Each structure stands twice: as structure tokens, then as C-alpha cells.
Amino acid sequence: MPFFASARFPRVCRPAASLLALLVLSGPLPAQAQLWETPQTTARQPLLRGAKAEQGGKVLRLGSTALTLDVVAGRVVGVLIEGRDTAGVTRALAGVWGSTAEGAASLQQAFSRPAFQDRARLGSVQTADETGTDLLALRLTGRGAEQRWRVYAAVNVLPESVFPATRNVTGQRGAPHVLHVLSDFQCPACRQLWAEQLAAWRAQPGKYRLHYHHFPLDYHANAFAAAEASECAAKQGTFWKYADRLFKGFDEWGQAGAPQAAKLFGSYAGTLGLDRAAFERCLSTRQTKAEVRRQMQGAEKTYLRGTPTVYLNGVKLTSFSGGELERIQAVTHARPSAARVIEERLKTFR
């Protein structure tokens, strides 16, 4: 599902598509479809019908294939699939992802390829697709009648160390929930996010600590300059007010040529009470260019496919619904947390 594919967030700004794509799985498989659901909902998936439930529904047996559900705060955050039969294992994986019989057949074809099996014998932990929302771990042992698959599909929870450092942070240090927003000042979807959800988060500093990261897209002519301007304002301690002004003047500077946009950036600084001469000197000599570039390079580690991209407690948001926020908050603050449970499983694949 594309980012902001809802009435509230109808569009997203995307970078140009890469010409190189490494196809690991075949067929349209909706990652994260049944992760985050309750164990009961997962068990009701069409491809998992007929599975025998054990241990209170946390283990499902589908023929010779076993599915162990990792449940945190009542939600499935990972599924370990074990079995000898490739068809059974891939059917189970497709079922976990809410796919179809056609998707299961495509997975079986991929898992049967010698090159794929050679990689699985070495043990593999990677993201399930380019969105980075899910992890997929594989291990294949034995041959012939002794062949055994271990497959683990799980939510991808990024550690804080993955996100690029930024001085543009608001909210209390002790706030229980941490948001990372990767954004572009000339992106319409980013402006909508800023005015709606992000405004609500900023209004709750005791609950959310918010980090802003730059990722101006190449095809937005003034986006990089706007990011530089915001960093010049940040040097004077007014990033957030200046960013508010940039989004307010979106249609004005966004449609201007570069020289006029620079003048507007300077006028915004003046109206906000900044030292305008120092601001314009910072902007004209591009004193913050390297900082914007550094953040962009760091953001590439976050599986960013478009702007805005937002992470809550290390989990990428996809729908921005209240239910999604509540689920993420619950599983990331449970004891043990989703990250801890998933990491313990992944250790056996490395």
C-alpha cells in the first residue's frame, strides 16, 4: 500500500525510481498484511485454514509445517515457520502476509531456485521488500529427505542509531515516544502532514519527542535551498518557527525562481525577528549545505522511498491511523518489547 493511501493523506512525494531492482520474492505479496493482527485474525487467513491451533493459539500446525506466533501486547509481531516441505512453508509464509494461492505458488517457485537455496543455506536476514517495514530471515539445512526450512517474518524495528543526527528536535527528553520525520519543504504531502498530524504531536511535548530530518527531492527546484534556509534559522535557534513560515508560504516561494525564493527566505527571517544580515550571509555562502547533505545521506539507511516518511519508536508508519499509533506504542513499550522478542529470534539465523 502506498504511503498516505487514505483520505487524510492522498499523495506522497517520491524520488525517481532506481533502474536496479534485486528481486528476491516473486509475485505481489503484501508485506505486513497480517503482522500486527491478533493471533485469531492471523489464524483465519484463507491459506492458513485447517491449521491446528496449539498453546493457546500461539502455535499453528499446517500439515508438517509449524507456525510459532510471537505475540506482544496482543499483536503478532513475528512468525517463525518451520518445516521440510517447501510448498507447505511457502504457503504458510504467503498466509502470514495475507496473500493468495497465486502468491504462494510464486513464493514456492522462488524458494525452489538453486541460487535462492544456496543463499538460504548461509543464513539470511534482510528486509522483505524495499519499504523496509518487515524483516525476512531464512535458513535452510539438510538435503533431500533431511531438508529443513526455518523462515521468520517480523516487524522491522529500527534502532535510534540508524537515524541521522539532527539539532531540530522538540518535545521533552523524557517523552515516552520518539518520532523521526524525514521531509521535504516543497512536498505537498509533507505540508499536509505538518499542518495536521505533526501539529498534534508538537502539541504533546510530554508524550512525543520529535526529530526533523531533511530529505529534499531533486525535482523540487527550491526544496534544497529551503532546507538550507531552515538550517540557517536553526543556527539562530528558530528552526520550528521558521519551518512553520516556510510551509505557510509554500505556494509563494515554491513557484518562484531561485533568486526570488532566496529573497523570500530572507524576508521570512526578518519577520520572525532573526538577525536578517547574518541569516542572508549564511544562506548566500551556503554555510548549511553540508549539514543538509549529511542528513540526506544518513536518511538513506531508513528505507525512505518518498516524503514524508515517519517512524514512531523505530517502526515506520503506513496509515497514520489512531489504531496504528496505539499498536506501535503498545508493542514497543511492552516488556519484553517487540524489538527484544524479534532480536532473540533473529540471533538463530545469523
pLDDT tens-digit series, residues 25-80:
444 444 444 689 999 999 999 999 999 999 999 999 999 999 999 999 999 999 99
Three cell numbers written together for 235: 543556527
- Give Cβ neighbours of residue 247 (< 8 Å, ≥ 6 apart): 185, 190, 191, 194, 195
Is residue 8 predicted with pLDDT exceeding 50? Answer: no
pLDDT of residue 13: 66
The one-character DSSP state at 13 is: B
Grade residue 279 by pLDDT with cuts at 50, 70 and 90.
very high
Is residue 281 predicted with pLDDT exceeding 70? Answer: yes
Q: How far apart are CA 307 and CA 87, in angstroms?
A: 38
Q: Distances in Å between the alpha carbon of 333 and those of 210, 321, 328?
A: 17, 19, 8
Sheet holding 148-155, edge to edge: 52-54, 59-62, 65-72, 75-83, 148-155, 134-141, 124-127
Q: How far apart are CA 155 and CA 128, in angstroms?
A: 10
The predicted-structure confidence for 104-120, as pLDDT tens digits, reads as follows 999 999 999 999 999 99
Interior/surface letters 130-164, b for 16+ CB within 10 angstroms, e for the rest: ebbbbbbbbbbeeeeeeeebbbbbbbbbbeeeebb
The predicted-structure confidence for 203-234, as pLDDT tens digits, reads as follows 999 999 999 999 999 999 999 999 999 999 99
Is residue 16 predicted with pLDDT exceeding 70? Answer: no
Is residue 145 predicted with pLDDT exceeding 50? Answer: yes
Three cell numbers written together for 131: 519499504
pLDDT of residue 125: 93
- State the average pLDDT for the chain: 90
Three cell numbers written together for 34: 497480517
Q: Give the Cα-Cα-Cα angle 137, 52, 89 (nearest 5 degrees).
A: 30
Q: Distances in Å between the alpha carbon of 187 and those of 219, 247, 277, 282, 307?
A: 10, 9, 28, 24, 7
Q: How far apart are CA 105 and CA 99, in angstroms?
A: 10
- The one-letter code for the residue type at 265 is F
One DSSP character per residue, 150-186 reads EEEEEE----GGGSPP-S-EES-TT-SEEEEEEE-TT
- Please state the rounded mean pLDDT for residues 276-291: 98
The predicted-structure confidence for 92-107, as pLDDT tens digits, reads as follows 999 998 889 999 999 9
Cell 499509533 locates to 325
- Please state the rounded mean pLDDT for residues 10-16: 49
